[in-house]
Amino acid sequence: MSIEEKVKELNERKERLKLGGGRAKIDQQHAQQSLTARERIETLLDKDSFQEVGLFAKHRCTNFGMAGKEFPAEGVVTGAGTVGGRLVHLASQDFTVAGGSAGEVHSDKIVQSMLSALKTGTPFVFMNDSGGARIQEGIDSLAGYGKIFYHNVMLSGVVPQISLICGPCAGGAAYSPALTDFIIQTASARMFITGPSVIKEATGEEITAEALGGPLSQMNYAGVAHFVAENDLVALRICKRLLSFLPSNNLEDPPQLEADDIVVPDKTLNTLVPTDPKKGYDVRQVITRLVDGGDFLEVQPLFAPNIVVGFARILGRSVGVVANQPSVLAGALDINASDKGARFVRFCNAFNIPLVTLVDVPGFLPGVQQEQGGIIRHGAKMLFAYSAATVPKITVIMRKAYGGAFLAMCGKELETDRVFAWPTAEIAVMGPQGAVNVIFRNEIAQAEDPKKRRQELIESYQSTFATPYAAAGRRDVDDIIEPAETRRHLAMTLDILHTKREFRPMKKHGLIPL
């Protein structure tokens, strides 16, 4: 054969392999409003930036009629490309090829892409769309999953890992996304360890696949998913936006965009938070006034909504925002909120993203269910995460800051770099009403007018203890600022702290109360 004939043969082989399971399977994928594995990659990456690795990979299984069966690209497309000019490594499972089932070589291809991400210090994006382990390969398919899980852990804290759930993700396959940093699940995708039929067989319970493993279940109740997307296109847009806030690895600072250094006072902030500590409001309105262009990417918005976490920029610098949400449970910290907040803080610290904490917390949520569910253990995660964090930590106390929850929201004693308070801040062991009931119980009972005396004592307690001035006098607050000036103070502090270095005792790792 001449070189021209050989090149022609090569191109024909490539074209055939890139068709995956064939035109009929691709049409079926499109009929279900889903993109194919390759279309997802093309949509995510910059044009013509994808370099595929392993197109000609073949399985080695000969059991159960597998000998001689061709699975194009082994059912997963792997390689590297750029998103916004920045390199990422990725793997995209191809449901048109044997249902995207994972066998030995399929898993090895994924692991190779993960190792390349580790070596080059670039994010790893895994697009999941698989029927699960390839049964014909038996233990080899399970071993393949084990390798993926192990390397998920090796990448953890070194490069960002993002999972997109674009189709079925059941059984052992669900554990790889669970080991990554962020999960973006599409509306039609389902994720669970045991499906409805297995659950009915084992426990007698009946439930639909959507109610069990749909995105709302995994977001609202389980707290597994971080973002819910209407379809593949929206999921890929979220992935791009998320990557824009993150560094490529743990040795880099987050990308900094060009920004106008002029910050003008925002008088809206002076009245946005009610002075009455019992009135609720949406803290996201405060966040959007403080960040560049009101651009705030909220993470897990429907899980533990009494705490708000997400990414934003202040004068072009990426920041992680953690804020109490007074419109839900008065902003109290409960078990789920503590887990959500602690995990987000740990991620930001691993990837050099400064933390901005907005405080309006009445305490930890009281109740038998919370206590028996382990609020002590879960609440301690917040204390551990913030204490262990060495990135710049800035706290703004807007209103209530009571008890241990005040400390758990990055109080000064957790080596917080700056603590600002608004004049409306109330900082104390507990709220004035509760404190007076404890301290002055006998005096109130013996007063001629107990109701009047109680109110007098509450006002006295507020003016003496539950003010930012008392805390500032003790240096638990660095400065008391006008709300309208908050963005300026945040911007200045971030600029001052961007070279922060903090050294800790040498150890393998701390033991967070899991």
Alpha helix stretches (DSSP H) within 374-414: 375-388, 403-408
d(CA 280, CA 293) in angstroms, rounded, equals: 25
295 with 312: CB under 8 angstroms?
yes
Residue corresponding to tokens 């949400």: 325
What the block records as the tokens of 237 is 């847009």
Strand partners, 127: 92, 164
Taking the C-alpha atoms of residue 210 and residue 192, their distance in angstroms, rounded to an integer, is: 10
What whole-number distance in Å separates Cα of residue 291 and Cα of residue 487?
Answer: 7
User: How far is the C-alpha of 101 from the C-alpha of 99, rounded, in Å?
Assistant: 5
Instruction: Label each residue of 171-201 as H, E or C.
Output: HHHHHHHHCCCEEEEECCCEEECCCHHHHHH
Considering the candidates 121, 157, 172, 280, report the single residue annotated as catalytic: 172
Amino acid at site 429 = V
Q: First CA to last CA across the chain, in angstroms?
A: 64
Q: Does the annotation mark 473 as catalytic?
A: no
Q: Which two tokens stand for residue 494?
A: 């971030």
Residues 6 or more apart whose CB falls under 8 angstroms from that of 47 comprise none
DSSP β-ladder status, 317-324 and 307-314? antiparallel
* Cβ proximity of 183 and 165 under 8 Å: yes
Nearest partner of 182 among 142, 229, 139, 150, judged by Cα: 229
What distance in Å separates the CA atoms of residue 236 and residue 310, rounded to the nearest whole number? 18
- Cα–Cα distance for residue pair 146/173, rounded to 1 Å: 10
Decide if 404 is catalytic: yes
| Annotated catalytic residue 91 | no
Strand stretches in 97-230, DSSP E: 124-128, 161-165, 168-170, 182-186, 190-192, 227-229
Strands 479-480 and 418-421: parallel
Q: Which residues contact 15 (CB under 8 A, 6 or more apart)?
A: none
Which residue among 170, 342, 405, 425 is the active-site one? 405
CB proximity list for 451: less than 8 A, separation 6 or greater: none
> Strand, coil or helix: what is 330?
helix
Looking at residue 498, its amino acid is H
DSSP secondary structure code for residue 253 in this structure? P
- What is the rounded distance in angstroms from the CA atom of residue 443 to the CA atom of residue 82? 70
Structure tokens at 41: 């990659």
Closest by CA position to 354, among listed 317, 391, 310, 303? 391
Q: Specify the pairing of strand 182-186 against strand 227-229.
A: parallel
Choose, from 54, 79, 331, 404, the residue flagged as catalytic. Answer: 404
**Of 157, 171, 280, 434, catalytic:** 171
Active site residues: 171-172, 404-405
